[in-house]
């Protein structure tokens, strides 16, 4: 079928898999439409100008009917893991709305990516929800391909990050007995291969397909193979029957960047073997060029991408369904809220370009330019109460994009060279932002920094009063140190003016 003749709708385009799939679909010449609640989050992705971006909510039946008109294939790549209580009920309701809209609009096919799981066992809430979504889509009346993939390994995937951080941090690891369960991982590149191949499956096909690497390992073996690839000594892993999924989820939350709300369902999904029961997909979609990617090769590729700063998408950048917060009003004083602010300014001799490079490089390994111990303590406090903490880091060491995660912040607005606004995702009794602005001033530049906090009730007000003494020197030192760091950067040499021909020797 002619690629340019059919329209493809991708849900979950801000997610880990969805963002990579859209890149491939656009490269293949397909007409692509995406639906997102906040189109601003896609402003900086390389394919933004090549797709039809529609603002809307998947739970809005009217919007879904409209956006599904003329669509040939709909990719269902959303899930609300980590989005609070009753996420399974929310997932089922969204699946019903989307599938009913697709059927009414005459969509030819739905493609869904779920999780690999055994039959005949009591599944965790997370895995049961993923399975129910697949069943809803398969029963919708629109032919559906429901892929069931094992642990996805790739740079930026939540599963890989969990393996990486556990192995990096703990040479001797007390672990739940599920580390001895049999797991069949799959490289993210192979998942994308099958998702692309689903476009050309026979008409009317309506079924599940298991996806895996055909290489079965225990979780303990996966961690030790990672350690070998990363140049670390072999890890001693002690499988203990006393670590319940809940305790293990708390442990993963503290040791890795994965927040507790996401760590818990990830851990629960490992309670049983996850091995493919059939390889029927081979009859319909050929193997990737060069064959399926083995686990060690997938780890090597992921580490190479990370070292080269080429992580295309990350679990931390994905938006959870229903988890987005309202943006900061342009003038919070007139927003109808109690508002607290901390404003710092600084005149720097650095050029705006040098000052901006420091601002855009903030966080991650570069730190926050003031009281490192205090920032680390705040990150650990957030982890203890189930937040994301500072360990999410940043996708790239020097460049940010709108919508991506930055430690316990998210980039809400980015006007490169001028303004950066971060929205807090740590656990606080209110809503918080941190804003930076850079402007030229003669031969130097002006630096403007503003922290904004909208408190929730009495607890929010008490929280602001409690941290106010620390803000007095943290934010002031941050402004000063950012400006000084920019002043220490080497100046770019000015291009030499060309001399007229008559004056040259």
Query: Has residue 323 been placed in a domain?
Result: no
Rounded to 5 degrees, φ, ψ at 145 are -105, 115
pLDDT at residue 62 in the model? 93
By the 8 A CB rule, do 324 and 410 touch?
no
pLDDT at residue 325 in the model? 57
pLDDT at residue 248 in the model? 72
H-state helical runs in 337-419: 352-360, 372-384
**Confidence band, pLDDT 50/70/90 cuts, at residue 24:** very high
Instruction: Say if residue 173 is in the same domain as residue 306.
Output: yes
pLDDT at residue 422 in the model? 93
**Confidence band, pLDDT 50/70/90 cuts, at residue 351:** very high
**Which tokens is 310 given?**
């080429």
Instruction: Say if residue 344 is in the same domain as residue 304.
Output: no
Q: The domain containing residue 360 runs over which residues? A: 332-488
pLDDT, mean of residues 37-66: 90
Q: Out of 177-181, 309-313, 324-328, pick the least confident.
A: 324-328
**Domain boundary, last residue among 317, 348, 382:** 317
**Confidence band, pLDDT 50/70/90 cuts, at residue 3:** low
- Select the more confidently predicted residue: 228 or 322: 228
**Confidence band, pLDDT 50/70/90 cuts, at residue 334:** low
Residue with token string 């009217």: 62
Number of domains in the chain: 2
Instruction: Say if residue 78 is in the same domain as residue 155.
Output: yes
- Select the more confidently predicted residue: 66 or 83: 66
Instruction: Say if residue 101 is in the same domain as residue 192.
Output: yes
Query: Has residue 495 been placed in a domain?
Result: no
Instruction: Say if residue 290 is in the same domain as residue 161.
Output: yes
pLDDT at residue 321 in the model? 43
pLDDT at residue 501 in the model? 42
Instruction: With a cut of 80, say whether residue 176 has pLDDT above it.
Output: no
- Select the more confidently predicted residue: 335 or 37: 37
pLDDT at residue 4 in the model? 63
Instruction: With a cut of 60, say whether residue 499 has pLDDT above it.
Output: no
**Which tokens is 306 given?**
């990370």
Mean of all residue pLDDT scores within the chain? 86
pLDDT at residue 498 in the model? 45
By the 8 A CB rule, do 71 and 116 touch?
no
pLDDT in tens, 95-150: 999 999 999 999 999 999 998 888 888 887 788 888 999 999 999 999 999 999 98
**Global pTM value:** 0.75
- Select the more confidently predicted residue: 500 or 367: 367
pLDDT, mean of residues 449-463: 88
pLDDT at residue 505 in the model? 27
- Give the list of residues 6+ apart from residue 450 with CB closer than 8 angstroms, or none: 341, 342, 343, 344, 433, 434, 435
pLDDT at residue 493 in the model? 53
**Confidence band, pLDDT 50/70/90 cuts, at residue 330:** low
Instruction: Say if residue 248 is in the same domain as residue 161.
Output: yes
**Domain boundary, last residue among 317, 349, 364:** 317
pLDDT at residue 185 in the model? 94
Question: How far is the CA of 414 from the CAs of 345, 400, 466, in angstroms?
Answer: 19, 8, 30
Query: Has residue 173 been placed in a domain?
Result: yes
Instruction: Say if residue 126 is in the same domain as residue 259.
Output: yes
pLDDT in tens, 208-252: 999 999 999 998 999 999 999 999 999 888 887 766 666 777 777
pLDDT, mean of residues 164-182: 83
pLDDT, mean of residues 180-199: 95
Instruction: Say if residue 289 is in the same domain as residue 356.
Output: no
Question: How far is the CA of 192 from the CAs of 89, 152, 196, 310, in angstroms?
Answer: 28, 11, 6, 17
Query: Has residue 236 been placed in a domain?
Result: yes
H-state helical runs in 210-334: 219-229, 245-255, 260-268, 295-307
**Confidence band, pLDDT 50/70/90 cuts, at residue 484:** very high
Instruction: Say if residue 247 is in the same domain as residue 144.
Output: yes
**Confidence band, pLDDT 50/70/90 cuts, at residue 382:** confident
DSSP 8-state symbol, 274: B
Q: What is the CATH number of the domain that holds 264?
A: 3.40.50.720
By the 8 A CB rule, do 443 and 349 touch?
yes
Q: Out of 38-42, 110-114, 257-261, 330-334, pick the least confident.
A: 330-334
Backbone Cα Rg of the chain: 24
DSSP secondary structure letters along 228-243: HHTTPPPPEEEEETT-
Residue with token string 């880091």: 393
**Which tokens is 307 given?**
């070292």
pLDDT at residue 486 in the model? 95
To the nearest 10°, report the CA torsion of 338, 344, 350, 355: -30
Instruction: Say if residue 221 is in the same domain as residue 137.
Output: yes
Instruction: With a cut of 60, say whether residue 502 has pLDDT above it.
Output: no
Instruction: Say if residue 279 is in the same domain as residue 132.
Output: yes
d(CA 61, CA 78): 16
Among 52-66, 398-412, 458-472, top mean pLDDT goes to 52-66
Q: Out of 9-18, 35-44, 471-480, pick the least confident.
A: 35-44
pLDDT at residue 323 in the model? 46
pLDDT at residue 443 in the model? 87
Which of these, 444, 439, 438, 436, lies nearest to 475 by C-alpha position?
436
pLDDT at residue 419 in the model? 93
Half-sphere exposure of 266 (CA within 13 A, CB side): 25
pLDDT in tens, 396-443: 888 998 888 899 898 988 999 999 999 998 888 988 999 999 999 988
Instruction: Say if residue 252 is in the same domain as residue 300.
Output: yes
Q: What is the CATH number of the domain that holds 448?
A: 3.30.530.20
């Amino acid at each position: 079928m002619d690629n340019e003749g059919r329209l493809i709708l991708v849900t979950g385009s801000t997610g880990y898999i969805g963002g990579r799939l859209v890149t491939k679909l656009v490269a293949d010449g397909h007409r692509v439409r995406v639906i997102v609640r906040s189109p601003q989050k896609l402003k900086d992705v390389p394919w933004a100008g090549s797709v039809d971006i529609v603002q809307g909510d998947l739970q809005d039946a009217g919007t879904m009917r409209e956006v599904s008109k003329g669509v040939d294939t709909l990719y269902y790549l959303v899930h609300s893991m980590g989005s609070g209580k009753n996420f399974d009920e929310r997932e089922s309701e969204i699946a019903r709305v989307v599938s009913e809209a697709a059927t009414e609009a005459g969509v030819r096919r739905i493609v869904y990516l779920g999780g690999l799981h055994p039959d005949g066992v009591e599944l965790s809430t997370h895995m049961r929800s993923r399975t129910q979504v697949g069943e809803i889509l398969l029963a919708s009346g629109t032919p559906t391909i429901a892929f069931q993939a094992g642990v996805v390994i790739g740079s930026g995937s939540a599963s890989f990050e969990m393996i990486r951080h556990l192995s990096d941090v703990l040479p001797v690891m007390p672990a739940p007995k599920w580390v001895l369960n049999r797991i069949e991982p799959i490289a993210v590149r192979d998942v994308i291969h099958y998702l692309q191949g689903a476009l050309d499956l026979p008409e009317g096909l309506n079924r599940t397909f298991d996806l895996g690497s055909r290489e079965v390992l225990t979780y303990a073996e996966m961690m030790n193979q990672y350690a070998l690839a990363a140049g670390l000594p072999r890890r001693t892993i002690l499988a203990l029957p006393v670590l319940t999924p809940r305790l293990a989820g708390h442990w993963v939350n503290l040791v890795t960047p994965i927040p507790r709300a996401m760590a818990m369902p990830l851990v629960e999904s490992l309670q049983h073997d996850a091995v493919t029961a059939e390889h029927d997909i081979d009859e319909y979609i050929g193997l990737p060029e060069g064959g399926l990617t083995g686990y060690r090769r997938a780890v090597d590729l992921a580490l190479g991408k990370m070292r080269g700063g080429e992580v295309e998408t990350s679990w931390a950048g994905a938006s959870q369904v229903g988890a987005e917060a309202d943006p900061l009003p342009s003038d919070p004083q007139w927003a109808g809220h109690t508002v607290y602010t901390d404003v710092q300014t600084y005149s720097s001799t650095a050029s705006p370009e040098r000052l901006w490079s420091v601002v855009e490089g903030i966080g991650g390994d570069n730190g926050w330019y003031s009281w490192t111990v205090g920032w680390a303590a705040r990150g650990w406090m957030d982890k203890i109460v189930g937040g994301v903490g500072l360990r999410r880091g940043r996708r790239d060491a020097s460049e940010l994009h709108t919508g991506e995660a930055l430690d316990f912040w998210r980039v809400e607005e980015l006007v490169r060279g001028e303004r950066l606004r971060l929205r807090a995702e740590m656990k606080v009794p209110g809503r918080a932002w941190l804003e930076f602005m850079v402007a030229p001033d003669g031969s130097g530049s002006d630096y403007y920094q503003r922290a904004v906090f909208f408190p929730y009730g009495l607890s929010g007000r008490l929280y602001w009063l409690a941290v106010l003494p620390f803000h007095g020197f943290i934010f002031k030192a941050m402004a000063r140190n950012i400006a000084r760091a920019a002043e220490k950067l080497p100046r770019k040499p000015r291009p030499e003016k060309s001399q007229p021909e008559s004056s040259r020797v």
